[in-house]
Amino acid sequence: MRTLFQTIKQQFLEGNDLVLVSVTASSGSTPRGAGSRMLVGKNGRISGGGAVEYRAECMALDILEKKESCEHEFRLNHKDVENIGMICGGDVTAFFQYLDHNDPIIMEITETAEKFYEERKDFWLICDLLTTSGVSLYSPACGLIGTANVPSSLSLKPHRYHSEDYDLFSEQIGTSGTVYVFGGGHVSQKLVPILASVDFRCVVLDDRPEFTNPALFPGAVETILCDFNHLDQYVSITAADYCCVMTRGHSYDTIVQAQLLATPACYIGVIGSRAKKAAVFRRLIEEYNINEQDLNRIISPIGLEIKAETPAEIAISITGQMIQVRADRKDTSK
């Protein structure tokens, strides 16, 4: 999504109008779920791909000529599936939002979105389905840019809101949440690029300079040389944050876990065997007075049980688990 805003800004600077195509609903085994988006300019699609997207692109080019927004439902029956070479069926409802390059609000939105990404703010993109070029950006911290009537509460998942006064489609596209990776060893070096590829914001911490080299962690927004005994001097962990503990030894893992349990982190995963987990938990109880209820917050061994062995396989299992946690958190937000 960050790239989408950057692209809109660049296209506007070049004097090009656009159509933003958003999937607002889907049913059956459709190839794209609600929240999927495509950007179309005068020369065709700028981002996106696939059979349904091709059909949407053709409509978007027509909308660019008419300069008005509309909604369309793609019905993928058995014959459609065969004709377009897909193995799945179902229906997709898409909204085609015309974006006028002369609209100062949309240009402001692209610039503000970039700022919000940098500042780690929670923010939502809101499309007004009743107006042309009706795009707004909302952040609880900074308010509204645009003209949308913001509902009293916004879902973390793509969601459509109906009332007598508005018809809106919103999606949270920026989050304050960060993944803090404690320890910069082999698994961390495999983990961070994979997490970054699925839109997790990663920060790596280690007490060894050679393991905080940014070159080791493509996709990380920051690497921090720290003292594991005093994490609060380096980071402030919130309820939106995830923590992965994979330091170089039991003692450091224990010290880090004790501090993380004092934070509201939504996820605390610790690498290691079940035997290691038992030993560390005993120390947490005996030396740090951690109760068993708090220990239940810790996921160890970290990752999904897929019989992962290599650092890359373990990184994939951890990423899968964190995607699951993120999705569950969104589900409970509605």
Residue with the bigger pLDDT between 334 and 161: it is 161
Handedness of CA 296, 300, 305, 306 (dihedral sign): positive
**Letter string b/e over residues 54-85, b meaning 16 or more CB atoms within 10 A of that residue's CB:** ebbbebbbebbeeeebbeeebebeeeebeeee
Q: What is the pLDDT of residue 121?
A: 87
| Cα 11 to Cα 78: distance, rounded to the nearest angstrom | 38
pLDDT tops 60 at residue 74: yes
C-beta separation of 303 from 317 below 8 A: yes
Q: How confident is the model at residue 125 (pLDDT cuts 50, 70, 90)?
A: very high
pLDDT tops 70 at residue 278: yes
Q: How confident is the model at residue 77 (pLDDT cuts 50, 70, 90)?
A: low
Mean pLDDT of the chain: 88
pLDDT tops 90 at residue 123: yes
| Count of H-run helices and E-run strands, the chain | 9, 16
pLDDT tops 70 at residue 295: yes
249, 258, 264, 256: which is closest to 288 by C-alpha?
Answer: 258
Residue with the bigger pLDDT between 305 and 83: it is 305
Reading phi first (left if > 0) and then psi (alpha if -120 to 50, else beta), residue 138 is in beta
pLDDT tops 50 at residue 233: yes
Q: Give the global pTM.
A: 0.72
Q: What is the pLDDT of residue 260?
A: 98
Q: What is the pLDDT of residue 34?
A: 67
Mean pLDDT of 250-257: 94
Residue with the bigger pLDDT between 180 and 28: it is 180
What would the pLDDT profile of 143-158 be if each residue is shown by its tens digit? 999 988 888 888 888 8
| Cα 81 to Cα 31: distance, rounded to the nearest angstrom | 11
Mean pLDDT of 234-238: 95
| Cα 307 to Cα 314: distance, rounded to the nearest angstrom | 9
Rounded to the nearest 10 degrees, what angle do helices 250-260 and 274-288 cross at? Answer: 60
Cis peptide before 158 (omega within 30 of 0): no
pLDDT tops 50 at residue 212: yes
Lookup result for tokens 């993928």: 76
C-beta separation of 252 from 227 below 8 A: no
Task: Show Cβ contacts of residue 95 under 8 Å, excluding neighbours closer than 6 positions.
Answer: 21, 22, 24, 69, 70, 71, 127, 129, 169
Mean pLDDT of 298-327: 96
